[in-house]
């Protein structure tokens, strides 16, 4: 199997924090990802207005990388994060 094929079948974990307000979205993200291995991809859903800033700070502290952000319905943002 080539590297490209393994990426296509890589599992993406979902952490849904829609409806939660600061600091709960980031706390949920940390709790749900703490035992996942480095390199794991996580989709994080949040609609808290301060969530983007909080997530950026968390990633700076931990070394996680935000790969992309997409706007979903009703103000929900989907962040694709690769864990450090």
Given a contact cutoff of 8 angstroms between Cβ atoms, the answer to whether 53 and 22 are in contact is: no
Sorted by where each begins, the domain ranges of the chain are 11-82
pTM of the model: 0.86
- Do the bridges between strand 77-82 and strand 65-71 make them parallel or antiparallel, or are there none, so unpaired? antiparallel
**Confidence band, pLDDT 50/70/90 cuts, at residue 8:** low
Short-list 32, 39, 36, 79, CA closest to 56? 79
**Confidence band, pLDDT 50/70/90 cuts, at residue 9:** low
* Catalytic sites, residue numbers: 22
| pLDDT at residue 10, as a whole number | 77
Q: Which fold has domain 11-82?
A: Translation Initiation Factor IF3 (3.30.110)
pLDDT tens column, 21-79: 999 999 999 999 999 999 999 999 999 988 889 999 999 999 999 999 999 988 999 99
| pLDDT at residue 50, as a whole number | 87
């Amino acid at each position: 199997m080539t590297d490209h094929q393994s990426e296509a079948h890589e599992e993406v974990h979902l952490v849904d924090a829609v409806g939660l307000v600061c600091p709960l979205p980031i706390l949920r993200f940390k709790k749900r990802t703490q035992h996942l291995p480095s390199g794991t991809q996580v989709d994080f859903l949040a609609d808290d207005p301060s969530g983007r800033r909080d997530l950026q700070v968390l990633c700076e502290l931990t070394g996680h990388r935000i790969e992309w952000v997409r706007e979903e319905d009703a103000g929900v943002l989907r962040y694709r994060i690769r864990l450090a």
